[in-house]
Homo-oligomer: A and B are copies of this chain.
Amino acid sequence: MHKGRLEAFSDGVIAILITIMVLELKVPHEGHGFEAIKPLLPVFASYVLSFIYVGIYWNNHHHLLQATQKVSGAILWSNLHLLFWLSLIPFTTGWMAEGHFQSEAVALYGFVLLMCGVAYFILEQFLIRAHGTSSSLAKALGSDFKGKISVLLYALAIALAFVNIWLAVAIYVGVAAIWFVPDQRIEGKITH
C-alpha cells in the first residue's frame, strides 16, 4: 500500500482545519475604527495559538510519514483518529475565545489537545508495530519523552483551568514552545 494518498489526504484535512479557524474572525458590521475589531483580539490570540498547534502537528506528521515505509489498515484508521481530534480544534478555539475564557472552555481546549497527543501516540505505536522495533523508525522515535510529557502537562492544565485559567493557558503556550522545534529525532537520525 502506498503512503502518498495518506499524506495527501492528511495534508488536505490539516490545510482546511488551519484555514477554517480564521472564519471565527468575523467581519464586524458595527462600530468604527480599531474599536470595532478590539473585541476580536482574544479570538485572534487564540487563533495564533491554535495555528501554531496545528502547524506543529503538520510538521511532526510530515516527519513521521517521511520515515514510514508501509501503510496498513490500522495505520489508516489511527491516522483518521488523529485527524478527528484535530478537527475539533476550531470548535474548542472558538468556544475558548468567544466564551470569554471560562474555565470549562479552557479545560475543553486542553482535553482536545490531550486527545490529539494520545491519538498521535497511538499512530506512532501502529507505525512501530508495522516496521518492527528494530527499524530505524522505531529507533528514531525512541521513548517519545516529549509526547508523553505533553499529555501529562495537558492533564495538569485541564485541572488548573478550574483554579486559574491563565495557569492553563500558560501551559498550552509552554507546550507549544517545546514542540515548536520540529521532531529532531527523526530529522536527525533518518532523513539525513
Contacts and interface: CB of A to CB of B under 8 A. Distances in A.
Nearest to A7: B5
Contact of A32 (B8, B14, B102): B102
B1 A36 contact: no
A5 B18 CA distance: 16
A178 interface: no
Copies of this protein chain in the complex: 4
A90 B22 contact: yes
28 contacts: A6-B62, A8-B11, A9-B11, A9-B58, A12-B14, A12-B15, A15-B15, A16-B20, A17-B19, A18-B87, A19-B20, A22-B87, A24-B27, A25-B88, A27-B91, A27-B94, A27-B98, A27-B99, A28-B99, A32-B102, A32-B104, A33-B104, A37-B108, A48-B84, A51-B84, A51-B87, A59-B76, A59-B80
